[in-house]
Structure 1
Amino acid sequence: MTQHACFGNLGDINDIDFCVPLQQLYDEHPSLLAKMGDFYSMVQQLETNKENTDWSEAIASLNDKLEIFVAELEPHSDREEDILFEMMVKYIGREGGPIQVMEYEHNTAKQNIKLFFEKVTDITVNHNQVSQEKAFELFNHIKIIYTTLTDHFMKEEQILFPMAEKMLSDAEKEELALQFKTFK
């Protein structure tokens, strides 16, 4: 069994059988990563198009992709923040540890999503043509969302979820499953 130093006594993450709610969170990542990859790839392609003079159509398309992504991301992150993190806090605390890092990354992504949508709304309401400068400013928010959450999901899969699997009792895992079923 390969043991990674940063996992300490968690062992090899490939040997961990997650309880149903942790497996659910884990299984939601590929779809979210695919959607992020889609809008990130779109940004990379758009950034190479120096001939475009009105970026409105591209921004509208990007906005649509981000709305679809957020509709899937929000319930996922809400279950983590409101249920899983709160269960783990009693064991590892909130300050200066994994939960603080996870919440910071959630907040970073949420803030950039909010700023992107606010700026797009402002453009739409005022019927502004989108300049390259404005488009690239919006692209920066997308890149921050992508890099933050790609790294975040990896940390959850390799550190946080295995930690939760090891630390939570069977009764707590049952409670976690119950809360996931009845959550919003």
Structure 2
Amino acid sequence: MSAFGGMPPAELSKGLKQLKEEHLPLLEQLDGLFRLTKKIDQDESILTNFTNLSKKVKEFQKALDPHSEKEEGILFPMMGTYIGTTSGPIAVMEFEHDQAKLKIKTFLEKTNNNNHSPEEMKNLSALIQEAYFILTEHFAKEENVLFPMAERILSDEEKEKLYQRIQEVK
């Protein structure tokens, strides 16, 4: 990942700061999902925990989707005018978004019916573990590399436009 060379710390503008702050509740939800998957792995009340996991994954997806839209639909294209989008940091970020969303989508599609064996429940919950690892690492990259990079390359006017546009995403 040489495209992610270290960036010195930067004070983030209000739009980038908001995107960073949105990570905290998402990470808290992810931690809860991960704890449920570990209980399922350890055969702890599998059906109850799996049912709860399914419910919590739906809630997480509802919280993640608008955040992703702010990045994919607004921030990434703005940065892409300077650093491109077909390779480098933006391409990596979009790939990671796609991978995490695919794991979540696959989990939700396959959990529509409740007729799963304990082994199937463990296998399906592993998709959420994979999404957890992707997203926790992904958020760290955004906070430590991508957002500071955006702070340096976007003009003050672009930063204000970013802030205004992300307020429109609900």
Per the normalisation by structure 1, the TM-score is 0.86
Measure the CA separation in 2 of the matches of 1:141 and 1:182: 31
Structure 1: 4+ residue segments shifted above 2 A: 55-58
Deviation at 1:68, TM superposition (A): 1.4
Q: Paired residue for 1:111?
A: 102
Deviations 1:118-139 (A, max 9, x none): 0001x24xxx2x2122111111
Number of matched residues?
167
After superposition, the C-alpha distances for 1:157-179 in whole angstroms (9 at most, x for unaligned) are 00000000000000101111111
Amino acid at match of 1:67: K
Aligned to 2:72: 81
1:6 aligned residue:
5
Distance (whole Å) between structure 2 residues aligned to residue 169 and residue 44 of structure 1: 45
Structure 1 residue runs of 5 or longer lacking an equivalent are none
Answer yes or no: is the 8 Å Cα contact 2:74–2:162 preserved in 1: yes
Match of 1:39 among 33, 53, 63: 33
Give the whole-Å Cα distance in 2 for the aligned partners of 1:182 and 1:143: 31
The C-alpha deviation readout for 1:90-133, integer Å capped at 9, x for no partner, is 10001220000000000001101110000001x24xxx2x2122
- TM norm structure 2: 0.92
> Could you say what secondary structure the match of 2:5 adopts?
helix
The correspondence for 1:71, drawn from 57, 62, 66, is 62
Q: Secondary structure of 2:43's partner?
A: coil
- Give 1:150's aligned amino acid: T
Q: Distance in 1 between matches of 2:66 and 2:167?
A: 12
Asked if residue 146 in structure 1 is aligned to residue 146 in structure 2, the reply is: no
Q: Structure 2: give runs of 5+ residues left out of the alignment.
A: none
> Do the aligned residues in 2 keep the contact of 1:81 with 1:103 (CA within 8 Å)?
yes
User: Which structure 2 residues correspond to residues 1-184 of structure 1 after superposition, within 5 A?
Assistant: 6-7=5-6, 10-11=7-8, 13=9, 16-49=10-43, 55-121=46-112, 123-124=113-114, 128=115, 130-184=116-170
